[in-house]
Chain A
């Protein structure tokens, strides 16, 4: 799995370049994001515009990333495709994560611009 990471100020924009986050790739994904958190990154925009499929393993990594911040940071999602959105709704994670169409909106929100 490939993950493109860019810092915009203190916000990390993490964009998976592959179409799937499943049990085969979730460990890489978890470790890659965990390294940024260990380096002090507390605000992450997860850009899912390339991601066509997320299973419960992938969703678990997104949740664990938020939990790793221990209430002192935030993870917001952008570019979520229809199928992935249905998983977020099925599992009620659409009530946990703020979700935006584009990175610019997500950046504004995570920097304190509200919804």
Chain B
């Protein structure tokens, strides 16, 4: 098992360096270009939610991302100490691609996480909000 932790302050401009680091680890672990991109995407969506909603876009707080490579998969844990995430219950996928007015402009993040990851769970651990995601590595 190999694990690495990245910590950023709760500023949106810190997402870029986090994303680059995530993609590099995924690539090094054997993911192809698309899988690495989608793993970065899921982590960035989750970290963005932590900054924007858990911390209300306020700087000075910490978002931790722990990657663990083990048993043919990579697990990604995104942790914050802010307000717990609430689902608004809306499904943005209910749109007609031919009707421009029906297209969604937001609310896609959690859907993307679910579509790109093989395992997803969210809960509270020791008072922290933890989004745990995992993606299986393809056999070569």
Contact = CB atoms under 8 A, between A and B. Distances in A.
Interface string B31-71: 00110111011001100100110000000000000000000
6 residue pairs, one from A and one from B, having the closest CB atoms:
A83-B37, A24-B12, A56-B108, A95-B97, A60-B105, A23-B48
Nearest to B34: A86
Interface of B: 12-13, 15-16, 19, 33-34, 36-38, 40-41, 44-45, 48, 51-52, 93, 97, 100-101, 103-106, 108-109, 111-112, 115-116
15 contacts: A23-B15, A53-B37, A56-B45, A56-B108, A57-B48, A59-B108, A61-B105, A63-B103, A67-B101, A67-B103, A83-B37, A86-B38, A87-B38, A87-B112, A91-B112
Contacts of A63: 103-105
Nearest to B103: A63
Contacts of B12: 22-24
Given A22-B44, A55-B44, A55-B45, A90 B33 contact: no
Interface of A: 20, 22-24, 53, 55-57, 59-61, 63-64, 66-67, 69, 71, 82-84, 86-87, 90-93, 95-96
A56 B109 CA distance: 6
A22 B105 contact: no
Given A90-B116, A92-B97, A83 B19 contact: no
Contacts, number: 84
Given A55-B44, A67-B103, A22 B108 contact: no
A71 B100 contact: yes
B103 A22 contact: no
A52 B134 CA distance: 23
B77 to A, nearest CB: 19
B38 A23 contact: no
